[in-house]
Structure 1
Amino acid sequence: MKKILKLSLFSFLALGMFSCVDDDNDTLTGDKNVGGLLSVETLAITYAQGSAPTDALSASLSVFQGREKVETVDVYKQYFRLDGSTLLKSNNVLLKSVNFPVENQHESLTFSFNYNELISGVVFEGQPLPADDATLEIGDYWLLTYVAKLTDGRTEHLNVKSTKVNVSCGSFLAGNYSNRTVRTETGAVYTFANDLVTQIADGLYVSSYVGPYYCAGQAPGSANTIQLPAGTRAGYTFSDVCNVIGLDTQNLASAFTNEVRQSAAQKALSNVNPVTGVITVHYSIFFSGNTVERPFVTTLTPL
């Protein structure tokens, strides 16, 4: 009798253990994906203040299509501004609807929009967003959210998946300028009729000339300008961040050990006039093993 009792107890415990394992397996495999899963590939976009209102921005989405499929996605837009510790926000309105082709298991789609579309129908602090983006504040943003419509008639709200469109300073300085450079110690003035400023990255540029210098193959300036014995372009690289001009330490004409530098005080004086487009750059060229400083101020006036 004792052996039978022990066997029965062992059988009961074994059954209990296997039941627990089955329950765990059911828990792990019970929530199977049936398709229609939307992923937001573009999480952040920069909107450069000063862009043309029809310049295109783009964002990308992807889906995993299974038995259920995403047919369309409604894209909503809402505008935000942080005022101290208070987050101000606009109404939440439809930006556009985009269609998925529903052909492959993995589908990707890129949709485009512009400033005119971003502001359409948006009311912020009782007023529509302005047609001129100059009154937007740097750091404001639109938040794009997505609602997927599936083939079974359901809609899936994706509040945690969004795209942030950040308002930032735009920089559009590439072009032709007249160059007037003053050596502040002596008052000597050097001029170049056409200083071509070339954009090499977002907000990053290179000028054609520096101080009184030009290279072989470049157009000479006024009678007192000087041709360098090496190099192909005398200019310096500079950055534009919200109309403040910065110049990192660099070698003269990328060919000499003489440094072109900008102090913190010189940077504070270097700027872009947002109305006239005139660029003013304060900097110094160093000589005698970079121990002797000669400061200059260059004024670039758009042609």
Structure 2
Amino acid sequence: MKNTFKTLAFLFIGTLAFNSCDSVGDDEELNYGQGSYVTQFSVAEKTGFFLKDDSEVFPFDIPVELVGGNGLALNSDLNLTYEVNLDESTAVEGTHFTFDTPGNTTVVPAGNKFSAIKINVDSATLDDQNPPVLVLDLVSATSSGNTVVISGNKNRIYVTLQGTCTSDLAGNYSVVTTRISPAGGPYTRDNEMIDEISTGTYNTTTVGNYKAVTDLTLTGTWNNLDASLSDVGYDFKEVCGRVKVEEQNLAHAYSNIVTQSSTQYTNSIVDEATGVITIQYSIWFTSNTVERTYQSVYTPM
């Protein structure tokens, strides 16, 4: 997978600064590149996928990080305290999960900028239709000889504990993609490979009407991506007959993002009788402010 993010001016694909700063609560004058150290959750939302099995308990990491301080790590341990937000959480400690380390604390070791809150998830307790959500708040941060503040807008994380089922969708498909808004298409291809990249997680060959392949099976107006890229489609996860597309960069290389709303997720399904996969998702343009919505229907060949 490429790590260099590109811009397609001719496709009106907007640029996005991946190192853009976030305001820190009421402390908007803080600059993550210098000055105060700030600790935070690395993301605001995270989904863990756990194969439902009566005897299986899965470890899962919830990432925390240190930013600021001229980009340098601390020379002493950073001790973090967190707590379950009981008003927001639907996941129950002792039922759906347990903490790997007691005391609601974790440590970012000296010389490091990243660590994780570790939990163990009991997959047998998970309802794949109504997954429980664990909500954690960072409440304190201490480090000998250093002042560390907790981020005002990344001090909380919502972790969805999603039960899932065995899956076998890899193969060769024909695909018909329609741009729902603004209306466009259909865009079709007869040789669309869906590859399994990890258990129950898949990657397509194309995304929307964007491609890096050249063949004679294409119809409709397609736009070209950089042909040197790998993994130029999009990733999705089957969740017991439903299809989840988590936020990702277009073709894993461009600053445009691919997303899926809750309504699009509801409409994204696998037909068990026919094997046909229907997936709805969006691609964002103009600095990720303009949304184009798509539906792709994959029929096994």
TM-score, length-scaled by structure 2: 0.44
TM-score, length-scaled by structure 1: 0.44
**Larger relative contact order (Cα-Cα within 8 Å, sequence gap ≥ 6):** 2
Q: Which structure's residues are more often helix, by fraction?
A: 1
